[in-house]
């Protein structure tokens, strides 16, 4: 049966305690609802007490209702992997047993393919030393959990915060993902960025240098010939310093003599947006990243040249070396350098 217009799509994930997974998904733009429940077992209408025995075959899971025009399944997969320990075959953190094992339950062939590809890319990244054991399984009937489990992080916030901390989940997530913050699962897909939430101004001030913040958020221009990448020609790609969106390739970089990194074209057609015209001598159009909306620099349409010149601030960029493309999830761009 075809999905009715405006009807949300469904995704199902088991990531250990469903309180924590519900919070992780409900904070994502485009998610309509995250329902705590049980799935994968052989007992009808299971209760929390029955599932807790570990003998019904069920796992604690969340059923995600989402608007695919606002958030992609690829983005849901990213959130899932960043909130679990995928190397634990016996449960999650302080919670042990079959009911706490991780899994992605696919509802169609597209979800299965994307789930398997995401697991493969995570394995290739080398982020985890141990094998990834999260299963990818066909969806079974999903049973909503008892009412007191729904929205637990909102109803009992203090108890929930203590649980997430002392169970070990919060510390694990921070230890793994703070040092791998720039890893991306599907950065080459425009749909992947649907649902990406730009950090607040205060968060950006904490994560960026004053120059990076000034350039990307306030439209400043860094000094010519006194910036990181103006004469940098190592093989790799340049991504948005805020979001990690792929922007430019070293293959398209050239010395324009201006003292700023210059490129003949973006890495992807959708990567940058031409904004307002600027004023002044030899001035072009402002260019910004599509999803983070970072100020990047300007593009010039020079009548004597067959191509454009993208004149970009180094402070708006982060460079990913060719040999690190796999590590940070940009594996799809390796073929550009073959």
* Percentages (nearest 5) of helix, strand, coil residues in the chain: 30, 25, 45
CA–CA gap between residue 140 and residue 135 (Å, rounded): 14
Distances from the Cα of 34 to the Cα of 136, 186, 301, angstroms:
19, 23, 48
Buried residues in 198-218 as b, exposed as e (16+ CB within 10 A): eeeeeebeeebeebbbbbbbe
Catalytic residue among 17, 278, 283, 311: 17
Residue 204 tokens, joined: 């950006």
311 in catalytic set = no
Helices (H) and strands (E) counted in the chain, each on its own, are 9, 17
DSSP codes of every residue in 168-199: SHHHHHHHHHSTTTT--SSTT-GGGGTT--PP
Distances from the Cα of 278 to the Cα of 48, 101, 219, 290, angstroms:
62, 55, 11, 19
Looking at the annotation, which residues are catalytic? 17
């Amino acid at each position: 049966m075809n999905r009715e217009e405006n009807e949300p799509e469904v995704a199902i994930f088991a990531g250990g305690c469903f309180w924590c997974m519900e919070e992780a998904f409900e904070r994502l733009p485009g998610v309509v609802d995250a329902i705590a429940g049980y799935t994968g077992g052989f007992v009808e209408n299971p209760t929390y007490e029955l599932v807790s025995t570990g003998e019904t075959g069920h796992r604690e899971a969340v059923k995600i209702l989402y608007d695919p025009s606002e958030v992609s399944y690829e983005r849901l997969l990213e959130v899932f992997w960043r909130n679990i320990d995928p190397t634990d075959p016996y449960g999650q953190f302080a919670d042990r047993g079959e009911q706490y094992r991780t899994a992605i339950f696919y509802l169609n062939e597209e979800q299965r393919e994307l789930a398997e590809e995401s697991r493969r890319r995570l394995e290739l990244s080398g982020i985890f030393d141990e094998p990834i054991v999260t299963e990818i399984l066909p969806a079974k009937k999903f049973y909503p959990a008892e009412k007191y489990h729904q929205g637990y992080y909102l109803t009992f916030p203090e108890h929930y915060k203590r649980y997430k901390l002392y169970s070990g989940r919060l510390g694990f997530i921070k230890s793994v993902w703070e040092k791998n913050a720039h890893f991306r699962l599907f950065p080459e897909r425009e749909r992947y960025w649907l649902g990406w939430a730009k950090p607040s101004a205060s968060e950006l001030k904490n994560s960026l240098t004053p120059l990076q913040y000034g350039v990307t958020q306030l439209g400043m221009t860094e000094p010519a010939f006194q910036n990181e990448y103006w004469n940098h020609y190592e093989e790799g790609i340049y991504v948005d310093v805020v979001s990690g969106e792929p922007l430019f390739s070293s293959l398209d970089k050239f010395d324009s003599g201006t003292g700023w990194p210059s490129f003949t074209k973006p890495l992807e057609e959708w990567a940058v947006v031409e904004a307002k015209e600027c004023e002044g001598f030899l001035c072009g159009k402002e260019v910004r990243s599509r999803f983070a909306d970072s100020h990047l620099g300007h593009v010039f349409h020079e009548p004597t040249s067959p191509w454009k010149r993208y004149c970009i601030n180094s402070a708006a960029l982060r460079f990913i070396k060719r040999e690190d493309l796999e590590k940070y999830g940009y594996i799809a761009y390796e073929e550009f350098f073959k």
